[in-house]
Amino acid sequence: MVLQPSNPFSQRNGRRTHQKETSYVMKKSLIGADLGGTNIRVGAISLQGKILHFKKESTNPENGKDLVIRKLLLMLKKTIQEEKAQGRKPVALGIGAPGVIRIRQGIVVSSPNLPDWIHVPLKKIAGREIGLPVVVENDANAAAYGEQWMGAGKGANSMICITLGTGVGGGIILNHRVWHGEDGMAAEVGHTTVNPDGPRCKCGNTGCLEVYASATGIISEVRRRLKREESVLKDLDRKQEGKITAEDVFRSARAGDLLSLRVIRQMGRYLGIGIANLVNIFNPELIVLSGGVTAAWKDFMPMVLEEVRSRAFEVPRDRAKILKAKLGDHAGIIGAAGVALQMLKGFKGSRVQEFKRTT
């Protein structure tokens, strides 16, 4: 029993009321941070995975890593102060960071979105400044865990999350845990080959899923086709001085533009090939798709389903549901907090278990 007899929320007439139990549980909270190349998000999250409050600021990585770290620490300290003012005590901090992360040491080894971050001991720095147990997780893994904990994959035992954004990221959850691989490099779904003769990817390979299924890839494909095909995007491109966006492509597809539709259908085809491979390898319960490109869901999903139907084996294919993510931009902070809670369970298993039992 974790509650002390002197605790005002503990017992009354031998029974605890529901409201008072909730008040007691709410006294502990988690802090989740999502350090992105564009924005830093920091939030206070309840032990049950609900966002209590959050803040967002621009990262401005061009100002250098020291200023980015200072901004992150300031946001963390403010959030912790706010929690204390609300009568809650944060018990752990999870930070999702982009790039290659040494999980155990909490070191950001390198990051394409934060170019001057080379071997940054983020866990050590945050631990020293914040004074909480800290875990640093890859941002795509954190988002995947967030979706599995509180979003589209709630309660799923195994799930693969594919983020279709500027690039294509991935996170693999097996037996309710993030699968990191031996070197923390697992789940690079965006850089699996779906067409060996495809265009070159920024990773150096050719025909990666990312060159087809990311916003950047979609725009590049539109540009290649604009040289030989007609489209409403030609005028738009001229008007916007070469700055067409993936949203422009989705909009013109909905208006019936054939070039846009062909690009999105091709994207669906290659995404379907990638998903069929994952279904055959992992036999997962769920595939969850997140990111801005899912705005074109209705246009690309028929192709995805066709490829999965024709390429994946029947049993894993019938098992794997393909769902749209639910948490949007909050997946990262919720997931980072969730990973921190898992860490805490590892260190202080029985205590956290007892807290959870009171819900």
Q: Which residues bind Zn ion (CB under 5 A)?
A: 191, 201, 203, 205, 208
User: Closer to Zn ion at the Cβ: 22 or 193?
Assistant: 193
CB of 158 to Zn ion, least distance (A): 25
Return the residue matching tokens 């055959």. 280
Q: Rank residues 203 and 226 by Cβ distance to Zn ion and give the closer one.
A: 203
Assess contact for 192 and 276: CB atoms under 8 A. Answer: no
Q: Which residue lies nearer to Zn ion by CB, 191 or 330?
A: 191
237 and 191 in contact (C-beta within 8 Å)? no
Strand, helix or coil for residue 134: strand
The minimum distance between CB 30 and Zn ion, in angstroms, equals: 34
Q: How far is the CB of 164 from Zn ion (least distance, A)?
A: 14
Q: Which is nearer to Zn ion, 191 or 269 (CB)?
A: 191
Q: Please state, in angstroms and rounded to a whole number, the distance separating the CA atoms of residues 250 and 265.
A: 11
Whether the CB-CB separation of 113 and 36 falls below 8 Å is answered with: yes
Closest approach of Cβ 208 to Zn ion, in Å? 3
Distance CA 100, CA 110 (A): 5
In the complex, the smallest distance separating the C-beta of residue 170 from Zn ion, rounded to whole angstroms, is 12
Which CB sits closer to Zn ion, 201 or 352? 201
Q: Which is nearer to Zn ion, 192 or 231 (CB)?
A: 192
In whole angstroms, the minimum distance from the beta carbon of 178 to Zn ion comes to 22
Dist. CA 130–CA 345, nearest whole Å: 20
Query: How many residues comprise the chain?
Result: 359
Rounded distance between C-alpha atoms, residue 321 and residue 226, angstroms = 35
Q: Which residues have C-beta within 8 Å of that of residue 249, sequence separation ≥ 6?
A: 218, 219, 222, 233, 260, 263, 264, 296
Closest contact distance (angstroms) between CB of 110 and Zn ion is 16
Please name the residue that has the structure tokens 């259908």. 265
Which of residues 11 and 206 has its CB atom nearest to Zn ion in the complex? 206
Do residues 28 and 91 make contact, with C-beta atoms less than 8 angstroms apart?
A: yes
Q: How far apart are the first and last CA of the chain?
A: 14
Q: Which is nearer to Zn ion, 159 or 208 (CB)?
A: 208
Q: How far is the CB of 270 from Zn ion (least distance, A)?
A: 13
- Which of 155, 171, 173, 153 is CA-nearest to residue 163? 171
CB 285 within 8 A of CB 159: yes
